[in-house]
Amino acid sequence: MRQPILTAAAFQALQSHHADARHWQLRDLFNEHPARFADFSVEAADLFLDYSKNRLNDTTMQLLFSLARERGIEPRRDAMFAGEKINTTERRAVLHTALRAPRDTMLRVDERNVIADVHAVLDRIQPFTERVRSGLWLGYGGKAITDIVNIGIGGSYLGPKMACQALRAYAHPRLTMHFVSNVDGNDLDALLQKVNPETTLFIIASKTFTTLETMMNAHSARTWFLTHGAATDLPKHFVAVSTNTDAVRAFGIDPENMFPFWDWVGGRYSIWSAIGLPVALAIGFDNFRQFLAGGHAMDQHFRSAPLEQNMPVILALIGVWYRNFFDSTSLSIAPYHQDLSDFPGYLQQLDMESNGKRVAVDGTALDAASCPVVWGDVGTNGQHAYFQLLHQGTDVIPVDFIAALKPGHGLAGHHAALLANCFAQSEAFMRGKTSGEARAEMQAQHMTAADIDALAPHKTFPGNRPSNTILMDALTPATLGALVALYEHKTFVQGVLWGVNSFDQWGVELGKVLAKNIQSELTGVPQPDRHDSSTNGLIARARAAM
């Protein structure tokens, strides 16, 4: 039986420590510790993490590191990298790290060197992407491909979409990437009205080639295509990321253009696998290799750095500090880079599908809160939307700021303004504005005493709001790879601390099963004894409208 986290000696020591820490003011911590920035920052894999604007001190961190050791972070990390089947509910290894390992690495799982298998697939992806990008891959009309449509869902949608947007600056000028996931036909319909069947290539991403949403969209795309081309043209316009050769062939795809991946790759960790085919097509295979290399560099850091200098471990421990001791129920992600606009949504799945659990690995109920709600948007958009709540709302919500020091454009003045906003917001969250400061500002504006008294409460900011800032020199394939791997390992560490299996997602399944039943009733015979009165009423109204 696992040890509940509440009974861990380090956790109890942290509870006693928090009784004092909850009264600390960040302004005071900075005033008392001139070297705070240097002492509470770390670099790894071309990323820099400043965690000095958090309500913690040296004692806090030492207690958190003790908690990490008591909860077995290091042996669990080693077990993951060794290919042990740490996904216990599905009896699988967890080896997204193997997807970005160099070719000369050896890792045997069930008597197979999985690294050799990984590079065998990469060796098939490379010439395919080069043919498409060079214009040698021709559609049925003899024209080069101009549009690539990735049809997937979950990780096979969020990952490639995020990475293609993030690495927009590296994209092939002839190729336009599109991503479809929603079973709502409005999604696919809007796209099909814009693309030319003669120059469009579809990627169907489904490991089993049975995923409901993906295959419904895939078959609709196939039907649309066949109103223009012939069945013999399908292999020129459809490829698959799958392992189901028979289903792929029956669909009309040449199995030579089927790119597999493995059951030890979870969907939300699959961007590094053949699921990343759209990324390789968009940015080129050499850049895709740099993306893999960036992830591997973070793997090496996570695997070898002492906990006290380990960036994913530090980020994870700070998250647990706020979730379990300050009762923070959410985490806001604020990338100050427009090309990272899809990154908060990507992290939602990574974090919340991994650690959004209420039972531990042994099936017992958790004794402490687990995953926070993850949400956010790019700065400076968020500043003019929800930052009001972050500054003056009743909840204290930690923020992760992410920025690149160099721009990906040549527009004068923009990047300095962007970084100024990023750094100013983290400072404003930390400092706030006292009533005295607000009053002094209004006095300098020659406002009346009555107006000052009336407005002072509204112009006062409590401050003391925590944040991390993650910086990279520039947003490149390598730094994006490191950034994604950083959050993957952070998620893993928090899962170990809470005692959950971060690599299953049984909560996704119930709705799928019920949806199949309801779909048959919407188009067939209702079975009201299956449902509650609300669901029956909704089904009846939908049937009447059809």
Polymer length in residues for the chain: 546
Query: Of 420, 424, 530, 418, which Cα lies nearest the Cα of 467?
Result: 424
Under-50 pLDDT residues of the chain: none
Q: Are 40 and 50 in contact (CB under 8 A)?
A: yes
**Cβ proximity of 483 and 47 under 8 Å:** yes
DSSP 366: P
Looking at the domain that runs over 5-70+305-431+466-503, which CATH code has it been given?
3.40.50.10490
| Contacting residues for 216 by C-beta, under 8 A, at least 6 apart | 183
Residues 135, 140, 144: CA angle, nearest 5 degrees: 15
* Residues 421 and 336 sit within 8 Å (Cβ to Cβ): yes
Annotated catalytic residue within 17, 96, 301, 353: 353
pLDDT, position 514? 87
Of 477, 126, 176, 162, the residue nearest 277 (C-alpha): 126
- What do you get for the CA distance between the two ends of the chain, in Å? 53
Does this chain's domain 5-70+305-431+466-503 share its CATH topology with 96-290?
yes
C-alpha to C-alpha distances, 313 to 77, 173, 488, nearest whole angstrom: 11, 39, 11
Residue 176 has which token pair?
A: 């336009």
Closest by CA to 205, choosing from 166, 244, 174, is: 244
Q: What is the pLDDT of residue 243?
A: 93
Q: Is 353 a catalytic residue?
A: yes
Which residue ranges make up each domain of the chain? 5-70+305-431+466-503, 96-290, 432-464, 510-545
Of 498, 502, 504, which is closest to residue 4 (Cα–Cα)? 498
Output the pLDDT for position 349.
97
Which residue from 488, 492, 495 is spatially nearest to 366, judged by alpha carbons? 495
Residue 516 is predicted with a pLDDT of 87
How far is Cα 26 from Cα 32, in angstroms, rounded to an integer? 10
Rounded Cα gap, residues 323 and 317, in angstroms: 10
Given the residues 111, 384, 446, 458, select the one marked as catalytic: 384
Taking the C-alpha atoms of residue 340 and residue 267, their distance in angstroms, rounded to an integer, is 20
What does the block give as tokens for 542? 């939908």
Is the full-model pTM beyond 0.85? yes
Kindly give the residue spans of alpha helices, DSSP state H, lying in 460-532. Answer: 477-498, 509-523
Contacts of residue 412, defined as CB under 8 A and 6 or more positions apart, other chains included, come to none
Buried b (16+ CB within 10 A) or exposed e, 122-159: bebbbebbbebbeeebebbeeebbbbbbbbbbbbbbbb
CA atoms within 13 A on the CB side of 276: 29
176-180/238-241 β-pairing: unpaired
Q: How many helices (H) and strands (E) does the chain have?
A: 23, 12
| Whole-Å CA distances, 335 to 308, 472, 522 | 26, 12, 42
CA 442 to chain centre: 43
Neighbours of 335 (CB within 10 A): 27
Composition of the chain by helix, strand, coil, percent to 5? 55, 10, 35
Alpha helices of 82-209 — where are they, by DSSP H?
114-134, 155-166, 185-192
Q: At what angle do helices 58-70 and 73-81 cross, to 10 degrees?
A: 60
Q: How open is the CA angle 424-429-435, to the nearest 5 degrees?
A: 105
Beta strands 147-151 and 200-205, pairing class = parallel
CATH fold, domain 96-290, is Rossmann fold (3.40.50)
Say which residues have a Cβ less than 8 Å from residue 324's Cβ, sequence separation at least 6. Answer: 5, 11, 368, 369
Give the whole-angstrom CA distance, residue 405 versus residue 423: 12
Catalytic-role residue among 143, 409, 512, 516: 512
Helices 311-325 and 285-304 cross at an angle (nearest 10°) of 70
Displacement of CA 500 from its chain's centroid (Å): 18
119 as an active site residue: the answer is: no
Per residue in 39-66, pLDDT (tens digit) is 999 999 999 999 999 999 999 999 999 9
In terms of Cα–Cα distance, which of 82, 95, 89, 66 is closest to 500? 89
Core vs surface per residue 441-463: b (16+ CB within 10 A) or e: ebeeeeeeeeebeeebeeebbeb
Query: Helix crossing, 73-81 with 477-498: angle to 10°?
Result: 130
512 part of the active site: yes
* pLDDT of amino acid 1: 54
Q: Which of 327, 343, 342, 347 is nearest to 394 (CA)?
A: 327
